[in-house]
Structure 1
């Protein structure tokens, strides 16, 4: 058996069996998610950048918070109110700093201060988000301000040979984390934010060279004792995706979704975006998909929905915009003016079926990518498949189709249109929709009771060191799981059953050796078939089926096969539940 790499996968204990997709083989399985206990589901709320842009004020932020409540969006889960950049005070040398070298707030725009603003937002039952960038301000170094609670000063930790990226006052030096006092400086800033009541922190201008800062802020936020959701921005490198996932709760996968094509200063005003800025997210969402999961999410940037066509998108395009964000399990952070919420857009944003797709904890994979025709699919914990069809073109209708085999579904399924809520009846093996330019169709495909449900091995969870390979043909889905040659190597699936029963399960496998590769099969932690031999199939391209009967309880069952010898498991293609 050819082994390709030693890419590890840490299974999240959420009993989620994920759907297949073409993007799976282009990136390794995710590293462990942040264990700060936050963002188990993608964040929902509002952020100031898109509409308020460079001119935030206390009054504007309060007005948006009020609108979040009065519109009913809060009751649907939109609870974050995030103040982005340009709240700070600047002079000719950059950020004006306090006595400990931290940015000061523009008291003209925020006369009551940040803590009072956070208290106001909390009084509405909402959460308050804030903003920072890596580094230490030039003014702190010039004044050589003391680092709170330490004998060290700003010049002790600043690398004045390099300037950090900053979009506002600029003049930010790198921090040398090899110097004593560096972590303590970040800690003091994080304590200040926690004291103010910050619940969500966006650190912007982050690149791979800022990983020491990202680590420092992770430590600092944890040390405050306050639960603060930690978000990174923007256009982060996918090569470092395991690091972002380990340290943060979300990370921006591209540059800004705003087009900066409005009539105001710096391209502000309407339109806020355009269709090209939305469609560019399809490929990045596909590439980043393997890294999303509970505790850490791929952030596609703000939702430009709320103010009708003037945002720069048609109603069809706005529905597609929300559908992609929901399927990708991206944070849903609105960037529009909620004080002028459009009725059509409010209906989109409060559609509980769409919100549920976003909040199911599963990021979809792209399974069809044919020009303007896109199909995405994911499998939820109850066994239902959520499938989105898109026409991303700007002219001409497209008939977009998907087969159940492409989606990892076997047998007939009951269809529900999730945008309208209408039933589509029972469909045997495929689904098609003729879509206008920019239009989407989002369906729930619920396997009909008694039908066979396929669980691709690459969509389960598996032992560290396993890989998803495609070098031996004849497999189903996008690949097969190749486990390490080791006792205890396993693949595990979450299997649904409507009733408690003895059910047939079929394992498809290949064993190109002359020796057996025995495995135990366990259900919900108990071995029900011990040391099943899984003998040689003659070649790695020759697949065989082993059908076994196992006891399933009503609801979700954990089915695992585990190698019992040092040879490891055979290559595993799928498990079918009858």
Structure 2
């Protein structure tokens, strides 16, 4: 189905004034108009996890108002568990959470973290603070009704039902147990969601990110939330999370939400960034004004202050990778939600967020699509509807490739939630080896939950037995977080298949841990498994574990390579002029095919101007 046909079908599906075709402004009476261009803002998750405070939110808002508002950045979003007074960094306090909840079973801000909420004011004073600066205020919530409200049989505003009448344990999130599913059609179910959004409207909330809604996709609750927002009387932008939203639900989610996640949680991992080339290509046909596929937050600047990823750091992305991230998100027209601590920004990070040429393309371009992918050389293109110019993004996603599984000394095959014990045992001959490489690879599903453990790894031989955990590694990578001795990558105990292990290595795909082996060892024994943090997710993880005794990396590709694009592919004639949007440099007229050098993991972004398009 062509994009125009798809969106006409969407209009019929909605039965109202939905967008008539991709990237045309929706009618004013349609909620899509509330986010006619991709939302841009800051979210507290990447730097503060579930522990952000009012002072930290205000500090980031102050920075945005001073440095970013003029470039179109406007949303300030308080992420998860703002209603818990004693939550913990690098995880969640589920042992004795201090929930703050009103008489109608609705969470309210923890006053010790948000002092202005005292006296029943909720988030209204903080929202007023944002609005006074010309900004907009957003919050994160979890899908469903609080477990605490169900247990207490708390009444529902506007209904004779209680929370205990509308819930089901089916579909409860595996990674956080604050909520139960709301069962559509039960008396009080819609009224509960109505009461939530009436409260948020009274606070002055402009944006709500609803978690545990997209993967798996909870269509009945999506519909109840949409109806509740429409009844609230306030223009509240709806973001659904996390992903990947099933692409089969693209029409449905576009008919009910302003943005929806296309991936699980995205962090400063090149492997996850590279995965986005496939993800964005898959979702590009579904870009429409007011209905945006969301590639997730920008993990740039200073991260991990008290976040789920434990270390306080500047982003692990290189500068080339940061250009790739911002270029792909911008030409894909993803919402831009910055995850770092804004007051900690350096000049380079600020420059990425304020480039007027790039942001104008992000705001106004049309027909955004992948032009080609040739192995790991990728081109995207888009049009400027005002001038007829073309935008061209070129990416060099080449890597040092890894040897195939057939060259490994041992390979586990797939390890999933369905694997008995969610683990496999290994006893590997390493006779004569001087090197050891422990490799975990993503097995093909959502990389966000591939928490992997090497359990009780033991070196033996010549009468010697040595735990590998006592041997320092030469280097260690992890696609999420960092490899950790005797703990999972999330910082918790090593827990696989319901069994706790005291010794092992926690990591996350894609991961390689390299050792210089002490002499005399002939065997490595270990158990490999999917850590509980991955197995407990609704979607779970899929891993493969490999052991190499020789360097698994192929020779590195060149630092820079040409990425050629023909004039015919671009749809322009000879004589068209080229401008580098990141630098502003004008590069003169094209006399033949365009083939600039692109650094490995880097990107370039161009405007190509021509008075007359070439015949195609």
| TM-score between the two structures when normalised by the length of structure 2 | 0.64
Larger relative CO (CA 8 A, sep 6+): 1 or 2? 1
Indicate conservation of the 8 Å contact 1:134/1:164, yes or no.
Answer: no
What's the CA shift for 1:167? 4.7
Distance 2:100 2:135 in 1: 30
Is 1:386 the counterpart of 2:391? The answer is: yes
Give the structure 2 partner of residue 403 of structure 1: 566
DSSP 3-state at the match of 2:198: helix
Counterparts of 1:316-395 in structure 2, within 5 Å, are 316-362=320-366, 364-381=368-385, 382-394=387-399, 395=557
What's the CA shift for 1:428? 4.0
Residues 1:429 and 1:346: Cα distance change in structure 2 (over 3 Å): same
Distance 1:296 1:16 in 2: 9
Residues 1:432 and 1:305: Cα distance change in structure 2 (over 3 Å): same
Task: Structure 2: give runs of 5+ residues left out of the alignment.
Answer: 12-18, 86-93, 118-122, 304-312, 400-556
DSSP 3-state at the match of 1:53: helix
Distance 1:166 1:67 in 2: 36
What's the CA shift for 1:321? 0.9
320-329 vs 130-139, which moves further: 130-139
Distance 1:38 1:453 in 2: 37
Indicate conservation of the 8 Å contact 1:34/1:247, yes or no.
Answer: no
Is 1:124 the counterpart of 2:124? The answer is: no
DSSP 3-state at the match of 2:348: helix
Q: Give 2:235's match in structure 1, choosing from 222, 227, 244.
A: 227
Give the structure 1 partner of residue 62 of structure 2: 66
Q: Give 2:273's match in structure 1, choosing from 256, 275, 278.
A: 278
Distance 2:131 2:175 in 1: 28
Q: Give 1:416's match in structure 2, choosing from 579, 593, 600.
A: 579
What's the CA shift for 1:110? 1.1
Distance 1:300 1:324 in 2: 10
Deviations 1:86-142 (A, max 9, x none): 212277587553211112322211121222111111121110011112111121111
Indicate conservation of the 8 Å contact 1:286/1:366, yes or no.
Answer: yes
Give the structure 1 partner of residue 285 of structure 2: 290
Indicate conservation of the 8 Å contact 1:40/1:361, yes or no.
Answer: no
Q: Give 2:151's match in structure 1, choosing from 142, 150, 158.
A: 142
What's the CA shift for 1:327? 0.4
Counterparts of 1:36-115 in structure 2, within 5 Å, are 36-70=32-66, 72-89=67-84, 95-113=99-117, 114-115=123-124
What's the CA shift for 1:302? 1.1
What's the CA shift for 1:336? 0.8
What is the alpha-carbon root mean square deviation over aligned residues?
A: 2.6
Indicate conservation of the 8 Å contact 1:93/1:171, yes or no.
Answer: no
Distance 2:47 2:127 in 1: 20
Indicate conservation of the 8 Å contact 2:365/2:382, yes or no.
Answer: no
What's the CA shift for 1:82? 0.6
Q: Give 1:181's match in structure 2, choosing from 163, 167, 188.
A: 188
Distance 1:79 1:112 in 2: 21
What's the CA shift for 1:351? 0.7
What's the CA shift for 1:452? 3.6
Task: Structure 1: give runs of 5+ residues left out of the alignment.
Answer: 18-32, 259-272, 455-475, 477-578
206-215 vs 196-205, which moves further: 206-215
Give the structure 2 partner of residue 165 of structure 1: 173
Q: Give 1:244's match in structure 2, choosing from 253, 257, 265.
A: 253
What's the CA shift for 1:411? 5.0
Is 1:299 the counterpart of 2:294? The answer is: yes
Deviations 1:382-430 (A, max 9, x none): 2111000111224522210111322344554211111111111111452
| TM-score between the two structures when normalised by the length of structure 1 | 0.68
Q: Give 2:165's match in structure 1, choosing from 139, 147, 156.
A: 156
Indicate conservation of the 8 Å contact 2:23/2:289, yes or no.
Answer: no
Is 1:195 the counterpart of 2:202? The answer is: yes
Indicate conservation of the 8 Å contact 2:7/2:21, yes or no.
Answer: no
Indicate conservation of the 8 Å contact 2:143/2:211, yes or no.
Answer: yes
Deviations 1:434-491 (A, max 9, x none): 11212211111111x3x2456xxxxxxxxxxxxxxxxxxxxx6xxxxxxxxxxxxxxx
Distance 2:573 2:194 in 1: 53
Give the structure 2 partner of residue 440 of structure 1: 603
What's the CA shift for 1:7? 6.1
392-401 vs 407-416, which moves further: 407-416
